[in-house]
Structure 1
Amino acid sequence: MKQYNIAYLPGDGIGPEVSAEAHKVLAKVSSDYGFSLKWVEFPYGATHYLKTGELLSQSALTEMADCSAMMLGAVGDPKVKPGVLEQGILLALRFHFDQYINLRPAVSFPNVPLPIALPKGEQINCVVVRENTEDFYMGIGGRGRKNFQVPLHAKRALYDFNATLDVKLDQDIEMAIQLGAISRPGIERVTRFGCELAKKRGEKNVALVSKSNAVPHIYGFLDEVTKEVVAKEYPDLTLSVVNVDALCYHLARKPQGWGVMICPNLFGDIVSDLLAGLAGGLGVAAAGNIGDGLSMFEPIHGSAPDIAGTGKANPIAAILSAAMMLQHVGEDKAAAVIEDAVKAYLADAKLPQMPIEFGGSASCSNVGDMVLARIK
Structure 2
Amino acid sequence: MAYRITLLPGDGIGPEVTDAAVAVLEATGLRFAWERFEEVGAAALQRYDTPLPEPVLDSIRKNRVALKGPVTTPVGKGFKSVNVQLRQKLDLYANVRPCKSLPGIETPFKNVNLVIFRENTEGLYAGIENYDERLEIADSIARISRKGSQRIIRFCFEYARRHGFRKVTLVHKANILKLTSGMFLNIGREIAQEYPEITFNDRIIDNMCMQLVVRPQDYECIVTTNLFGDILSDLAAGLVGGLGIVPGANIGDACAVFEAVHGSAPDIAGQNRANPTALIRSAVMMLRHLGEHAAADAVRDALYETFREGRYLTADLGGSATTSQFTEVVADRVRQRVSG
- Give 5+ residue unaligned stretches, structure 1: 147-172
Return 20-29 or 47-56, whichever deviates more. 47-56
1:323 aligns with 2:287: no
Distance 1:255 1:132, change over 3 A: same
Residue pairs, 1:31-110, within 5 angstroms: 31=29, 35-42=30-37, 43-76=39-72, 82=76, 84-87=78-81, 89-110=82-103
Shift of 1:190: 0.7
1:27 aligns with 2:26: yes
Maintained 8 Å contact 2:44/2:53? no
- Counterpart selection for 1:272 from 229, 233, 243: 233
Q: Which residue does 1:246 correspond to in 2?
A: 207
Once the two structures are superposed, what CA deviation does each residue of 1:113-161 show, in whole Å capped at 9, x if it has no partner?
Answer: 32x2x3xxx4111110110011111110212156xxxxxxxxxxxxxxx
- Percent of aligned pairs sharing the same letter: 37
SS at match of 1:180: coil
Shift of 1:254: 1.8
Q: Which residue does 2:129 correspond to in 1?
A: 141
Corresponding letter in the other structure for 1:38: A
RMSD value, Cα:
1.7
Once the two structures are superposed, what CA deviation does each residue of 1:199-225 show, in whole Å capped at 9, x if it has no partner?
Answer: 123222200011100111100000111
Return 285-294 or 55-64, whichever deviates more. 55-64
1:112 aligns with 2:105: yes
Q: Which residue does 2:308 correspond to in 1?
A: 347
Shift of 1:24: 0.7
1:130 aligns with 2:114: no
Return 341-350 or 212-221, whichever deviates more. 341-350
Q: Which residue does 2:15 correspond to in 1?
A: 16
TM-score by length of 1: 0.85
What is the count of residue pairs matched by the alignment? 334
**Greater share of strand residues, 1 or 2?**
1
Maintained 8 Å contact 2:92/2:253? yes
Larger-Rg structure: 1
Distance 1:247 1:326, change over 3 A: same
Distance 1:109 1:282, change over 3 A: same
- Give 5+ residue unaligned stretches, structure 2: none
Q: Provide the C-alpha distance between the structure 1 equivalents of 2:301 and 2:77, rounded to a whole number of angstroms.
A: 37
TM-score by length of 2: 0.93
Distance 1:145 1:283, change over 3 A: closer
Shift of 1:52: 5.0
Distance 1:83 1:191, change over 3 A: farther
Shift of 1:264: 0.6
